[in-house]
Amino acid sequence: MPRLLVLQHVAAETAGTLDPFLRGAGFRLRYINFERTPDADPDPRRYDGLVALGGSMNVDQTGVFPHLLIEIEVLKEALVREMPILGICLGGQLLAAALGAQVHPAPVGEIGWYPLQSSPTAGGDALLRHVTHGQHVFQWHSYTFAVPPDAVHLASTATCANQAFRYGSNAYGLQFHPEVDNRMIARWLSVPAWRKELEALQGPDRARQLHADTHRHIGPATEAAMRMFDAFAALFRRGPRHRLLHSR
């Protein structure tokens, strides 16, 4: 039974649909919620893989959120051990930082549903091949990452050049949110500061349109996410050499 460490930053940003999928596949999940226990210092050596979730803070706010530095070190250790890693939004940015890449404000903040543009390498990738070119994915971010040295660029949007990368055969950084469902998006819109962020970026009526867009896109997005999650789970059944052969 694989043991998975899940790094959580705020209560509203859970693993969403990824949690029941992995539990159903036989995984044991251990959450570290840094909002509740900011001094936590998890040991990745006790686990078989790692998921880093999103959050409302930014990677450069280590003075306010010192646990971000702890997480980067945890990710570095997981990388050395060649563990399967999935970083989502802030988690993807932390993974990029752990690999020495720059994380910086995005030219344009993205909130809502955006068509994903697959790179030429995505078609042969274990995870991203399951997201078709033009598939709408959910975004909520104002920062973005550079693709780390030696990593493979996998996807972009029209307003954000770097939406996904793979490092080696086992570590994935995503800027978008494959784990969301209707309930999670509604919960995010109920957080006053987050709704204010949306309205400041896109106007006072945007929340209503976002609900309509979610109704339109959530079905295909969830189907693609389940295929991605299944491919992520399959990484645990392969050794590092086998994973590399199947990621090309």
Mean pLDDT estimate for the chain: 94
Question: Which residues, including other chains, have CB under 8 Å from residue 155's CB and lie 6 or more apart?
Answer: 116, 117, 118, 119, 122, 128, 131, 163, 164
* CA–CA dist 84, 25 (Å, integer): 15
Question: Is residue 238 predicted with pLDDT exceeding 80?
Answer: no
Distances (CA, A) of 222 to 96, 182, 209, 226: 25, 10, 19, 6
pLDDT in tens, 29-49: 999 999 999 999 999 999 999
Indicate the pTM of the whole model: 0.94
What pLDDT does 1 receive? 87
Q: What are phi and psi of 110, to 5 degrees?
A: -120, 125
- Write the DSSP string, 24-73: HTT-EEEEEETTT-TT----GGG-SEEEE---SS-TT-TTT-THHHHHHH
Domain 3-246 fold: Rossmann fold (3.40.50)
The C-alpha torsion from 247 through 76 and 6 to 242, rounded to 10°, is: 20
Place of tokens 């990388």: 79
Contact 192, 150 (CB under 8 A): no
* CA–CA dist 178, 176 (Å, integer): 6
pLDDT in tens, 181-234: 999 999 999 999 999 999 888 888 888 899 999 999 999 999 999 999 999 999
- The percentage of residues in the chain with a pLDDT greater than 70, rounded to a whole number, is 96
What pLDDT does 239 receive? 59
| Average of per-residue pLDDT across 136-141 | 98
